[in-house]
């Protein structure tokens, strides 16, 4: 188990130059030196516009804070995120236009190289004092958005990221805890 603090996160511009993101975690792709296999990030979205293109990448996007957004995909679909915890999925190469439903928002992004693995993104909001069991998987990432999270009696850092590889762990949560859980499985070799 590793715990990454917010000081270790990397702030960077979006690939299309339209905004900024905070990269929480990046696992390099084993076959493509300049690409990632897995990436988890938090974006601050101040205005609508086009999404960046990520060929060969499957994306999941969840609303952390704000009134939400509507995504217009090049294939004619419309996806709406208008409630905290909602998650939508789409391919990274499809053209997308974003329209904000209110003011600025924050979202959580899970991106996976399609030839490397699969994963799921979900919001956890346990009741105070509840135990949270994280089952073993190839890779488990838990962004500690707010509240108090403890593991074995030790407090985890506010806004940090818990990283597990092939191990399970029990956590306790209180103080209105909210976290974003990504469970990732590598494709068979």
Whether 84 shows a pLDDT value over 90: the answer reads: no
Mean pLDDT score across all residues of the chain? 94
Tell me what pLDDT residue 152 has.
Answer: 86
* Count of Cβ atoms closer than 10 Å to residue 181 Cβ: 17
Q: What angle do CA 68, 69, 74 make, to 5 degrees?
A: 160
C-alpha to C-alpha distances, 44 to 17, 77, 117, nearest whole angstrom = 13, 24, 26
27-62 pLDDT per residue, tens: 999 999 889 999 999 998 988 999 989 999 999 999
**What percentage of the chain exceeds 70 in pLDDT?**
98
Whole-model pTM?
0.94
101-158 pLDDT per residue, tens: 998 899 999 999 999 999 999 999 999 989 999 999 999 999 999 999 999 889 999 9
Q: What angle do CA 162, 167, 170 make, to 5 degrees?
A: 65
């Amino acid at each position: 188990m590793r715990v990454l603090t917010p000081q270790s996160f990397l702030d960077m511009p979006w690939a299309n130059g339209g905004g900024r993101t905070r990269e929480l975690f990046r696992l390099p792709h084993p076959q493509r030196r300049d690409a990632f296999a897995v990436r988890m990030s938090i974006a601050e979205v101040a205005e609508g516009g086009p999404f960046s293109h990520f060929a060969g990448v499957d994306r999941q996007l969840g609303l952390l804070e704000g009134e939400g957004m509507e995504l217009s995909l090049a294939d004619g679909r419309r996806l709406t995120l208008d409630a905290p915890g909602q998650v939508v999925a789409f391919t990274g190469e499809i053209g997308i236009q974003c329209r904000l439903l209110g003011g600025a928002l924050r979202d959580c992004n899970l991106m996976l190289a399609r030839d490397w693995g699969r994963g799921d993104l979900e919001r956890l909001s346990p009741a105070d004092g509840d135990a949270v069991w994280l089952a073993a998987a190839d890779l488990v990432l838990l962004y500690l958005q707010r509240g108090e999270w403890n593991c074995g009696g030790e407090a985890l850092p506010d806004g940090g990221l818990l990283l597990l590889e092939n191990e399970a762990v029990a956590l306790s949560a209180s103080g209105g805890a909210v976290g974003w859980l990504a469970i990732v499985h590598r494709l068979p070799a």
